[in-house]
Amino acid sequence: MELKSSHVSPVLTEPVPMNKSRLGIHSSLLSYSQQDAASAPAKYTRSGSRKSVGSLDDVRCNGYLDAMKASSPPRKKVVKSCNNNTHLSAFDSDNEDYTSWTLDYPSALHYFENITERAKNKQIAMFLDYDGTLSPIVDDPDAAYMSEPMRATVTSVAKHFPTAIISGRSRDKVFELVKLRELYYAGSHGMDIIGPVSDTLSNNHPDCVKSTDYEGKEISLFQPAKEFLPMIDEVFRTLVDITKHIKGAKVENHKFCVSVHYRNVDENNWITVGQLVHDMLKDYPRLRSTHGRKVLEIRPVIDWNKGKAVEFLLDSLGLTNRDDVLPIYIGDDKTDEDAFKVLRESNRGYGILVSSVRKESNALYSLRDTSEVMKFLQLLVNWKRQQDDDKKQAPFLGIWF
Ligand SMILES: O=P(O)(O)OC[C@H]1O[C@H](O[C@H]2O[C@H](CO)[C@@H](O)[C@H](O)[C@H]2O)[C@H](O)[C@@H](O)[C@@H]1O
């Protein structure tokens, strides 16, 4: 793995020019109301300088708005039929579409035996995203709680397999929500990792230091974007300020990245949110924005992501470059694609996408929602217990594994 041999900082020296991402989408494809223009602040202040906000065409032309609109599947509406019975309007065509999509991304529940066949006599390493994977997507990011049955399930998973949570949230925030000390955590999209102590990594990598965890246990702490802390803090404060007039907008500080939520913003004003973020980033060429589920994520331009975090954790667990290891990554978001890609390209394990709608992905399998995630994890734990019992019984039965 790269980390072992290279001591090069993951910070990219060449910032990505904003204009490189322009897709040339024709502005006539999008509607634009006077009200948008009126509600957009004409200027904002940063470090004493007055900045004029760019043209709203900027966000249209570079595909920002389209990506914002496409960033989360619409909720299914409950409708009343003529006999007054309520039912989900997950129209038949949606279901047909989903079913045909699962031909390319088969259900990890239906293909459970194929997965465990490959896992036999291997060490599974489990990587779990948080929002949309362990807790359902809800309107208020502060209320994205994990259910007690899910917590109990993840606890059992961690008893049987090394398990890590890899989240876009800050490490402290995701720990506050998960509350399990027996896991490893990677917050801020992998830019803040606590993993097992690894002398190889901490001796060889300048961004990896020995520290202590929530229980005072010795761990490795890896923070490749440490130098961005003051910048992220400044950007967080600026974003809070410039979005305060937009009803429903919410800005979260995730230590090494910032989230700007527009889930609760009137759709007519999404373009304003996009434009404000886009304009502010012109002042910060070493930051970029990515799209999550109804959220814009502002993060450092460094060569680091959830996929690199998986590689880092596998390495620190001593599970890299081994044929007897099967990593499984479960996630629902675009940022999880980096992890799926790492596993797919190295033909090392399984990426499982959580989605109830058709999506292009680097994952191999799919699960519909968080309840299917829980079911899959429970099946895996039961399978592992059975394997361990069979191994214990084997000498008495004269069977050799
Ligand atoms: O990597 P993750 O653990 O999946 O975190 C990604 C983002 O999750 C949160 O936002 C998302 O979930 C919220 C609660 O369900 C929802 O309200 C929001 O619309 C989603 O985007 C979190 O608040 C973000 O900061 C994370 O980056």
The domain locations on the chain are 107-190+304-391, 228-300
Tell me how far the alpha carbon of residue 315 lies from the centroid of ligand 1, in angstroms.
27
Ligand 1: which atom is nearest the Cα of residue 139? 17
Ligand 1: which atom is nearest the Cα of residue 133? 4
User: Worst-scoring range by mean pLDDT, 60-64, 81-85, 230-234?
Assistant: 81-85
Ligand 1: which atom is nearest the Cα of residue 135? 15
Ligand 1: which atom is nearest the Cα of residue 254? 25
Task: Tell me if 138 CB under 6 Å of ligand 1.
Answer: yes
What mean pLDDT is predicted for residues 199-209? 76
Confidence of residue 325 (pLDDT cuts 50, 70, 90): very high
**E strands along 293-361, which residues?**
295-300, 325-331, 350-354
Percent of the chain with pLDDT over 70: 77
Number of Cβ within a 10 Å radius of residue 282: 11
Task: Tell me if 263 CB under 6 Å of ligand 1.
Answer: yes
**E strands along 167-205, which residues?**
184-187, 192-195
Tell me how far the alpha carbon of residue 131 lies from the centroid of ligand 1, in angstroms.
5
What mean pLDDT is predicted for residues 8-30? 34
- The tens digit of pLDDT for each residue in 210-267 reads 888 877 888 889 999 999 999 999 999 999 999 999 999 999 999 999 999 999 999 9
CATH number of 228-300: 3.30.70.1020
Q: What DSSP designation does 259 have?
A: E
Task: Tell me if 130 CB under 6 Å of ligand 1.
Answer: yes
What radius of gyration, in Å, describes the C-alpha atoms of the chain? Answer: 23
CATH fold, domain 107-190+304-391, is Rossmann fold (3.40.50)
Q: What DSSP designation does 105 have?
A: S
State yes or no: pLDDT of 134 exceeds 90. yes
Task: Tell me if 190 CB under 6 Å of ligand 1.
Answer: no
Q: What per-residue confidence (pLDDT) applies to 310?
A: 96
pTM of the predicted protein model? 0.83
Task: Tell me if 141 CB under 6 Å of ligand 1.
Answer: yes
The Cα 384–Cα 116 span in angstroms is: 9
Any idea which residue has 């359902």 for tokens? 136
12 is written with which tokens? Answer: 């990219």
In this structure, which residue's CA is closest to atom 21 in ligand 1? 293
Cα–Cα nearest to 264, from 280, 246, 244, 276 = 246
356 is written with which tokens? Answer: 């109830």
**E strands along 190-269, which residues?**
192-195, 208-212, 218-222, 250-253, 258-261
- The tens digit of pLDDT for each residue in 270-297 reads 999 999 999 999 999 999 999 999 999 9
State yes or no: pLDDT of 27 exceeds 60. no
What mean pLDDT is predicted for residues 51-80? 65
State yes or no: pLDDT of 383 exceeds 70. yes
The Cα 165–Cα 342 span in angstroms is: 17
Confidence of residue 162 (pLDDT cuts 50, 70, 90): very high
Confidence of residue 74 (pLDDT cuts 50, 70, 90): low
Q: What per-residue confidence (pLDDT) applies to 210?
A: 85
Q: What per-residue confidence (pLDDT) applies to 260?
A: 98
Amino acid type, 36? D
Task: Tell me if 167 CB under 6 Å of ligand 1.
Answer: yes
Tell me how far the alpha carbon of residue 144 lies from the centroid of ligand 1, in angstroms.
8
The number of residues making up the chain comes to: 401
Q: What per-residue confidence (pLDDT) applies to 15?
A: 36
Task: Tell me if 168 CB under 6 Å of ligand 1.
Answer: yes
In this structure, which residue's CA is closest to atom 4 in ligand 1? 131
State yes or no: pLDDT of 187 exceeds 80. yes
Task: Tell me if 372 CB under 6 Å of ligand 1.
Answer: no
Task: Tell me if 250 CB under 6 Å of ligand 1.
Answer: no
Task: Tell me if 132 CB under 6 Å of ligand 1.
Answer: yes
State yes or no: pLDDT of 311 exceeds 70. yes
In this structure, which residue's CA is closest to atom 10 in ligand 1? 141
Tell me how far the alpha carbon of residue 77 lies from the centroid of ligand 1, in angstroms.
22
**Cβ contacts of 79 within 8 Å, gap of 6 or more:** 86, 87, 88, 89
ipTM: 0.99
Q: What are phi and psi of 176, to 5 degrees?
A: -60, -35
Q: What is the mean pLDDT of the chain?
A: 83
